[in-house]
Amino acid sequence: MNADDREGERGGEEGTVEPQVASHAELPEVSHKVRRRRTRRTRPRSKTIALKRMTRAELELGARLFPPVEDVERPRTRGECRGESRPCPWVACKHHLYLDINPETGSIKLNFPDLEPWELAQTCALDVAETGALTLEEIGAITNLTRERIRQVEVRGLLKLKTRRELR
């Protein structure tokens, strides 16, 4: 006699199984401390390209493929930039959200390696700042960082402002 045969015998009629429902008194009490489930990262992590690891041939190829643009006037102030078309075409600008360049090492961090610059919903950090207060989750989605990392950056920035104010 296997387990399926025994269940059929408990069900009353042969071949039917009555579902066993626990009464309300038998259910365990749910704790009021419910942990938030961590959701899986929906975007790929940012990718860093270190110039130290690039070969001379790769650097020369990059210079040939992407020569510097000198004949186009770039905006120099926020006032000039505000009226420009969006998404912002100036990826090398320090306020552009597509990539970050480390001035000490020259490494390039692609914040959104799965997207092209024109596919970003927001491209300028100054435009995001003008919209007003945002939650840590919203800022994290815009910058491809976690909520905790955004909180750490916020604390560091506030400490810098506090020390500058104390020096005056």
Distance CA 109, CA 143 (A): 12
- The answer to whether position 13 is within a domain reads no
- The answer to whether position 24 is within a domain reads no
Distance CA 59, CA 45 (A): 24
- The answer to whether position 38 is within a domain reads no
Give the CA dihedral 131, 132, 138, 141, nearest 10 degrees.
Answer: 40
Are residues 127 and 104 both part of a single domain? yes
Domain around 141? 133-168
- The answer to whether position 61 is within a domain reads yes
Is the pLDDT score of 36 beyond 90? Answer: no
> What is the average pLDDT value for the chain, to the nearest integer?
82
139: Cα separation from own chain's centroid = 8
- The answer to whether position 166 is within a domain reads yes
Are residues 82 and 146 both part of a single domain? no
Selected residue with higher pLDDT from 11 and 153:
153
Q: Residues, the chain, total?
A: 168
Helix axes 147-167, 136-143, angle to 10 degrees: 100
Are residues 59 and 89 both part of a single domain? yes
Is the pLDDT score of 11 beyond 60? Answer: no
pLDDT confidence band for 75 (50 / 70 / 90): confident
Distance CA 79, CA 167 (A): 30
